[in-house]
Chains A and B, each alone.
Chain A
Amino acid sequence: EADIYQTPRYLVIGTGKKITLECSQTMGHDKMYWYQQDPGMELHLIHYSYGVNSTEKGDLSSESTVSRIRTEHFPLTLESARPSHTSQYLCASSGVYEQYFGPGTRLTVT
């Protein structure tokens, strides 16, 4: 069974605040991903990493940043949250092929 964790699960925060969404996996996977998904809508890849110190932007423009200092940890940071950032954020990791998803963080910016 895949072990990938996200915290917090739910976050309500005011406009302009800096936030960091945490994602950790215990499988030793090199590949990790961040997706954004609004309710009932498609997944959008916003960041990915294929190893330590390697990060790339995905196909959806995002004002967030990521870092990959340790294999197991892939945090996402929003320097200044806005209501347009309100969404579900999903983290995933992959060994060779298939992806395993974390439970997600539902972010609401007021």
Chain B
Amino acid sequence: QKEVEQNSGPLSVPEGAIASLNCTYSDRVSQSFFWYRQYSGKSPELIMSIYSNGDKEDGRFTAQLNKASQYVSLLIRDSQPSDSATYLCEGGSYIPTFGRGTSLIVHP
């Protein structure tokens, strides 16, 4: 079992809706987490980081960390077609650990 798990999707949402991306992690992963967006053929780019329990908001993005349940999520409000990409969850630890990524498709 991977230490950071993500549903590979694809997750399909209509334009303007809220996209919810989830990630679970094992005890061996440290408590800092990062979300990266990767467009097809491009490199991952950091979009959110979260270090403590609760919510962190940045524009249309909200990251949520629940340490008791060992999951971290990313909410994208007012989803746009330009949000269509693969979203990678990383559990920061001595050795970085990435999930497989969730493909998001936002259709007009």
Q: Do A and B come from one complex?
A: yes
A75 touches B (CB below 8 Å)? no
Q: When A33-B96, A45-B95 are in contact, do A98 and B44 touch as well, CB less than 8 Å?
A: no
CA of A33 to CA of B95, assembled, Å: 10
**Is A103's beta carbon under 8 Å from chain B?**
yes
B80 at the interface (CB under 8 A from A): no
Within 8 A of B (CB), among A72-110: 90, 94, 97-104
Select A97's contact among B40, B44, B92, B98, beta carbons within 8 Å: B92
Cβ of B43 and Cβ of A102 under 8 Å apart? yes
Query: A99 touching B90 by the CB < 8 A rule?
Result: yes
B36 partner residues in chain A, CB cutoff 8 A = 99
Looking at chain A, what size class is its interface with the partner chain?
10 to 19
Complex contact B43–A59 (CB within 8 A): no
Contacts A33-B96, A45-B95, A90-B43; A99 near B34 (Cβ below 8 A): yes
Q: B43 contacts A104, CB within 8 Å?
A: yes
A54 to B36, CA, bound (A): 27
Contacting residues, chain A, for B100 (C-beta < 8 A): 42
Q: How far is the CB of A21 from chain B (nearest CB, A)?
A: 14
The contact string, 1 if C-beta is below 8 Å from chain B, for chain A 44-55, is 010010000000
Q: Write the residues of chain A forming the contact surface with B, with a CB cutoff of 8 angstroms.
A: 33, 39-40, 42-43, 45, 48, 58-59, 90, 94, 97-104
Residues of B within 8 A of A (CB): 32, 34, 36, 40-46, 49, 51, 88, 90, 92, 95-96, 98-101
Q: A39-B41, A94-B96 are in contact. List 5 more A-B contacts (CB 8 A).
A: A42-B98, A43-B88, A90-B44, A97-B49, A97-B92
* Interface pairs (17), CB distance under 8 Å: A33-B96, A39-B41, A43-B44, A43-B98, A45-B96, A48-B96, A58-B95, A59-B95, A90-B44, A97-B32, A97-B92, A98-B46, A98-B49, A99-B90, A99-B96, A101-B45, A102-B43
